[in-house]
Structure 1
């Protein structure tokens, strides 16, 4: 099995012209701003894209990117298990932007998008509030909702994974249209 490497934003910026950049965030997050030239293949579509990613990895270096680095590390692990050498961007697009590098947006992308972390915070907060209110107004057993979310957040922090984000990623606004993903995979094959 190959071992993924890590690039800092400065090194990635210097080498950007020689890298194939794959952004594993949801299409909405990608539309909100991505590294120049990045191709969007959401994390849950990596298995489908393996042959095309292998094709470009055989020809040059692949950099996998997400918002903070957690999803790209997961993607790199999947790719490494399949014999594909990749690198991940340390700190993700957040670190890229914090270093003063530009994020690109697709032409015509005017729809306001929420990052996955913001979607998780809204959902978790709403369910905790709902559990507390129903626990006070209807029956104390509803407070189990709040306890469940608290436990999930603790597990998420300890494991650096997020089950709620995985579920939210399956919602229609977070999914790529089949034609968009097919177009992205064709672009990988053409490299």
Structure 2
């Protein structure tokens, strides 16, 4: 059995078909809460394997659209789902392209109503803070601390070349970016009922 090839939908195509799609947002719960496609269910990328039976069930009943902020994480999720024989589509450019096309993003409170920065903003803040810390420690304490800044710079170049981000993977594990078990269980139950 050959793995299904994920389809890419432009924002306009997805909007036209939104009523017939099961939309799965693979961003962190905080990112999801800050703005998601109408009707999207939040299953963070690191929880997709746990959700395979429920996503398979949804795919048997209709088309599944996987979204993230830019399209990179949703492409990873689509590859994983394709390896398990689950056909999916991804949103070209993610929620960023959706919003840029003038389509509404729905917001929901995350963890008691606190909004969380999107992952790209979290990565930029963390990388900048670590670079500044490395420079300050390198100038004030010992030049070896400059290697910290160089390491972050190298990581950013690697991230751009490979379209992956190790820092985002680490930040996604922080408590404000993690779903509570009850939240994920409720989303999976919702997915099963579609």
TM-score of the alignment, normalized to the shorter chain, above 0.5: yes
Any unmatched runs of 5+ in structure 1?
none
Residue 9 (structure 1) aligns with? 11
SS in 1 for 2:50: helix
Distance in 2, Cα, partners of 1:44 & 1:27: 12
SS in 1 for 2:49: helix
Distance in 2, Cα, partners of 1:87 & 1:145: 39
Residue 184 (structure 1) aligns with? 187
Following TM superposition, by how much is the alpha carbon of 1:110 offset from its aligned partner in structure 2, in angstroms? 4.2
Following TM superposition, by how much is the alpha carbon of 1:2 offset from its aligned partner in structure 2, in angstroms? 1.2
SS in 2 for 1:48: coil
TM-score (norm 2): 0.96
Counting matched residue pairs gives 191
The partner residue of 1:139 within 131, 142, 155 is 142
C-alpha deviations, 1:102-153, integer Å up to 9, x for none?
A: 1111268742320000000000001001111111111111111011101100
C-alpha deviations, 1:32-78, integer Å up to 9, x for none?
A: 01000000000010110001000101111000000111110111011
Residue 20 (structure 2) aligns with? 18
Distance in 2, Cα, partners of 1:159 & 1:87: 22
Residue 61 (structure 2) aligns with? 59
Distance in 1, Cα, partners of 2:56 & 2:162: 28
Distance in 1, Cα, partners of 2:171 & 2:21: 30
SS in 1 for 2:27: coil
8 A contact 2:81–2:87 mirrored in 1: yes
8 A contact 2:33–2:109 mirrored in 1: no
Displacement over 4 Å in runs of 4+: 107-110
Residue 90 (structure 1) aligns with? 92
Q: What is the CA RMSD across the aligned residues, in angstroms?
A: 1.1
